[in-house]
Amino acid sequence: MTENLWLLGDIFDFWWEYKSVVPAGYVRFFAKLLEFTDNNIPVYIFSGNHDIWLKSYLAKELNVKIFHKPLKIELQNKQVYMAHGDGLGKGDYDYKFLKKIFTNKFLQWGFSKIHPNCAFKIASSWSHSRRKKEKYPSFKSLANETLYQYAKEFNKKEHCDYYVFGHRHIPMKLDIGKGSQIINTGEWLSQQTFACLQDGQMQLLQYKDGKIQEYPYPNPEENPFLSRNLKTDN
Ligand SMILES: [Mn+2]
């Protein structure tokens, strides 16, 4: 069986590539990815809203493939739609506007002229400021979940078996009709959740107490770890 690893974005809180400077840190993480690719296990990385500036460095050094857009792909005879999830669906116009600024070539050129120490200080403080103090993201209802609605709408026009996203930090595995499911891989830092596609079936899993188990709350409406009243954090 062909194994491969898909990282769905926001792998870095902030990432920027210079011609001759590499951001400090991440050595063990990079070594692990290299271990995968050196052993012919392909690694695919989507850029997220925190690391949209991933360019060719990781692709060259670690032999990984980077995607900047959603991808629809057949895996194990299933149609799988994957994306980080930022900016998809209705609303979030502030972010959609910001994304235009973030991806503006002239502004990127200007930012790259700032000394790396200053540039990272500015970007990291801003990136951190977006993170709220609460440990778990807020959740109101599925009706308010843009990616859930997006997948449902998309599936009316074009069928996929699985819609897999990150971004929201809310682990989720739900039916969306026509035999399709949406899966949100959640996040790694506090809940250690991820998805696994095996024999054509996708599972939402959690690494807990040294073991891998099925995540007990695939429906966020029943998840006690989500905060109900606070603002979103993604
Ligand atoms: Mn994100």
Asked whether residue 158 is domain-assigned, the answer is: yes
Average pLDDT (61-76) is 97
For the chain, how many helices (H) and strands (E)?
6, 11
Distance 234 CA to ligand 1 centre (A): 5
Sorted by sequence, the CB contacts under 8 Å of residue 17 that are 6+ apart come out as 53, 54, 55, 56, 57
Asked whether residue 14 is domain-assigned, the answer is: no
Is the CB of residue 174 less than 8 Å from the CB of residue 181? Answer: yes
Does residue 129 surpass a pLDDT of 70? Answer: no
Distance 207 CA to ligand 1 centre (A): 21
Asked whether residue 118 is domain-assigned, the answer is: no
Does residue 100 surpass a pLDDT of 60? Answer: yes
Asked whether residue 127 is domain-assigned, the answer is: no
Asked whether residue 108 is domain-assigned, the answer is: no
Distance 150 CA to ligand 1 centre (A): 16
**Taking phi first (over 0 means left), then psi (-120 to 50 degrees means alpha), and beta for anything else, what does residue 88 get?**
beta
User: CA 182, 183, 188 angle in degrees (round to 5)?
Assistant: 160
Average pLDDT (31-59) is 96
Any idea which of 22-26, 37-41, 94-98, 128-132 has the lowest mean pLDDT?
Answer: 128-132
Does residue 132 surpass a pLDDT of 80? Answer: no
Q: What is the DSSP string of 12-32?
A: SSS----SS---S--HHHHHH
Distance 206 CA to ligand 1 centre (A): 20
Q: Measuring CA to CA, which residue among 42, 39, 41, 48 is closest to residue 10?
A: 48
Distance 74 CA to ligand 1 centre (A): 24
Distance 114 CA to ligand 1 centre (A): 25
Distance 68 CA to ligand 1 centre (A): 13
Distance 210 CA to ligand 1 centre (A): 27
Distance 1 CA to ligand 1 centre (A): 31
pLDDT (tens digit per residue) in 216-227: 999 999 999 998
Asked whether residue 181 is domain-assigned, the answer is: yes
Domains held by the chain: number: 1
Average pLDDT (123-152) is 83
pLDDT the model gives residue 96: 86
Asked whether residue 120 is domain-assigned, the answer is: no
- Tell me, what amino acid is at 145? E
Asked whether residue 189 is domain-assigned, the answer is: yes
Distance 144 CA to ligand 1 centre (A): 17
User: How far apart are the two ends of the chain, measured CA to CA in Å?
Assistant: 34
Distance 96 CA to ligand 1 centre (A): 13
pLDDT (tens digit per residue) in 142-151: 999 999 999 9
Here the tokens at position 119 are 């540039």
- Tell me, what amino acid is at 79? Q
Distance 49 CA to ligand 1 centre (A): 5
Distance 130 CA to ligand 1 centre (A): 11
Distance 52 CA to ligand 1 centre (A): 10
Distance 2 CA to ligand 1 centre (A): 28
Is the CB of residue 40 less than 8 Å from the CB of residue 1? Answer: no
Is the CB of residue 12 less than 8 Å from the CB of residue 57? Answer: no
Range of the domain at 157: 70-100+136-234
Q: How confident is the model at residue 230 (pLDDT cuts 50, 70, 90)?
A: very low
pLDDT (tens digit per residue) in 14-34: 999 998 999 999 999 999 999
Q: Phi/psi at 88 (nearest 5 deg)?
A: -90, 145
pLDDT (tens digit per residue) in 167-204: 999 999 999 999 999 999 999 988 999 999 999 999 99
Cα dihedral 31, 167, 148, 181, rounded to 10, equals: 10
